Structure 1
Amino acid sequence: MKALIISDSHGLKKELLDVIERHRDEVDVILHCGDSELDGAASELSDVNTVRGNCDIGTDFPEEYTESFQGFKVFVTHGHLYNVKMTYVPLSYRAEEVEAQMVCFGHSHVATSFQENGVIYVNPGSIRLPRARKEQTYCIAEVTDDKVQLLFYDRSGEFIPDLSAVYHR
């Protein structure tokens, strides 16, 4: 399974679509971790599994999304309801509740990944307003039987090796 993970695009349309179109044919699923600031009818989000962030108005998107892809369970949320700017503990409790193997979240605009208690956590950063780094980022996760490879890119598609990581399942 291969997933394109995006978050915090904050109203960008052309740039969001550029990233999606660049990778659409090479991924199995596209996940947006919220704060798109677009509505559910936006053509840019066609075929994109999107959750609602704190800057998204209306009820077009669910607060969270969980799905198994080829037996690998992914949980997607924006992160504001789990206080991710302060701690990952509430998010880890929710990951345990839904039996997630990977958690995708945004909100902090800080691109990062880590593994804790066997769960892989991915924040793809922001393609509009990054924090802690200058690059506007997104991530591609490639899941195989024994590992999860996370490849981070800047908005123009340039690979960012120091953010990228491999985690064993």
Structure 2
Amino acid sequence: MKIVVMSDSHGDKETVKAVSTLSADAMFHCGDSELAYDDPVLHTMHRVRGNCDYDASFPASVVVDVQGKKVLAVHGHEHAVKQSLMRLYYSAKELGANIVLFGHSHLYGAEMQDGILFLNPGSTMQPRGGKKATYAVVEWDETVRVTFKNMQHEIVELTEIKNF
């Protein structure tokens, strides 16, 4: 299974367009696109509302089955992700999610907790903490590989987690 994830593009259609053309089983935008929900550049993506998205058509969250893995996507502002992942963890447990995707902090990272992958792809437009602008690619088979890539599609960081 392969998914591509981006977040916090803040009005930059070119980065959304560049990421949306990649090959994957599913694509996600974790909010703060600052585009209209029906903007054509978002049509190939599952998308959620961020705190800077004002189109009421965006859902607060989506749950999608991707090749047998249940994926929960949110922006993160309603789950206080800048303080802790605990609220997201409980939401994931309640829904039976295998993968939780979120943005909001503009900091990329991935970690596995109780067999659930928590992933923030970072920001494609306004990275924070001295990090590069990134999106993420998740490949899940015998292992879980999370690759953070810059806007030139070069690897910034690769994390591999043994799948139990």
> TM-score, normalised to structure 1's length?
0.92
- Identify the residue that residue 124 of structure 2 maps to in structure 1: 127
Aligned-CA RMSD value: 1.1
- Identify the residue that residue 153 of structure 1 maps to in structure 2: 149
**4+ runs deviating over 3 angstroms:** none
Contact 1:5 1:30 in 2 (8 A): yes
- Identify the residue that residue 2 of structure 2 maps to in structure 1: 2
Q: Alignment partner for residue 159 of structure 2, among 156, 161, 165?
A: 165
Gaps of 5+ in 2: none
What whole-Å deviation, never above 9, does each CA across 1:110-150 have from its counterpart, x for those lacking one?
A: 00011111111100000000012331000001111x22211
- Identify the residue that residue 103 of structure 1 maps to in structure 2: 100
Secondary structure at the aligned position of 1:41 is classed as coil
Aligned length: 163
Cα distance in structure 2, aligned partners of 1:13 and 1:97: 34
Tell me how far 1:3 sits from its aligned partner. Answer: 0.6
Amino acid across the alignment from 1:148: V
Tell me how far 1:106 sits from its aligned partner. Answer: 0.2
Cα distance in structure 1, aligned partners of 2:122 and 2:85: 16
What whole-Å deviation, never above 9, does each CA across 1:66-88 have from its counterpart, x for those lacking one?
A: 11112111110000000001111
> TM-score, normalised to structure 2's length?
0.95
Q: Percent identity?
A: 37
Gaps of 5+ in 1: none
Cα distance in structure 2, aligned partners of 1:168 and 1:120: 11
